[in-house]
Amino acid sequence: MLSTGLPLAEPVVRDVPIHGNPRQVPVRQIVIHATGGPDCDPSRSFRGGSLEGIVGHFQRNRKRISIHYIIGRTGEVVRMVPETRVAFHVRGHNADSIGIELVNDGDGRDPFTEPQIEALVMLLRDLLARHQLDGAALKSHAELDDSELVCGGRRLKRKVDPGATFPWERIRAALKE
Ligand SMILES: [Zn+2]
């Protein structure tokens, strides 16, 4: 995204369609994810990857995992599963949610970029308005999934995203403007 300082009415969106099952219930939650997270293999742990890498990952694994939107570090938004269809992004909460992945390591240290946050706010304003929701509909993946990862004898929380660097207060304040 060009950093003109001017708020754009809509984020720049590129379509890479993946079809999910038709949605049966209204959207009630918007779930924020980071692409990186814990993995038993240290070489794969907390690696956010690139926007193109993540898009390819979802295309290859579409039967198992999918997402509605991905926002890259430059603020580019990729739309995959249409909002009218269910994506597989959060255990037990897929039916009534929209999922947004942010390319980020998800380790609580990697900062989300300014263009990424601006694009997210624009997208969220649009989503909340169209689905008649307020800021309370925003959820972290971490709060909705308590499952554990067992690595040898070690147990880790499997989903911790988007992590401690995600600016919840700033986002919630921007959505009230
Ligand atoms: Zn997640």
Per-residue b or e along 2-20, where b marks 16 or more CB atoms closer than 10 Å to that residue's CB: eeeeeeeeebeeeeeebeb
Q: What spacing in Å lies between the alpha carbon of 175 and ligand 1's midpoint?
A: 22
Alpha carbons 92 and 56: distance in angstroms, whole number: 24
Q: What spacing in Å lies between the alpha carbon of 142 and ligand 1's midpoint?
A: 7
Q: What spacing in Å lies between the alpha carbon of 69 and ligand 1's midpoint?
A: 12
The reply to whether omega before 162 is within 30° of 0 (cis) is: yes
Alpha carbons 84 and 79: distance in angstroms, whole number: 12
pLDDT for 104 equals 98
> CA neighbours within 13 Å on the CB side: how many for 177?
12
CATH number of the structural domain 13-176: 3.40.80.10
pLDDT for 10 equals 66
Q: Identify the helix (H) or strand (E) that includes residue 56.
A: helix 51-60
56-109 pLDDT, tens digit per residue, is 999 999 999 999 999 999 999 999 999 999 999 999 999 999 999 999 999 999
6-50 pLDDT, tens digit per residue, is 455 566 789 998 888 999 999 999 999 999 999 999 999 999 999
Q: Which residues lie across from 98 on neighbouring strands?
A: 30
Q: What spacing in Å lies between the alpha carbon of 4 and ligand 1's midpoint?
A: 31
100-116 pLDDT, tens digit per residue, is 999 999 999 999 999 99
The mean pLDDT value of the chain amounts to: 93
Q: What spacing in Å lies between the alpha carbon of 157 and ligand 1's midpoint?
A: 12
Top-confidence residue, 29 or 4: 29
Domain map of the chain by residue range? 13-176
128-167 pLDDT, tens digit per residue, is 999 999 999 999 999 999 999 999 999 999 999 999 999 9
Alpha carbons 103 and 77: distance in angstroms, whole number: 10
Alpha carbons 85 and 99: distance in angstroms, whole number: 11
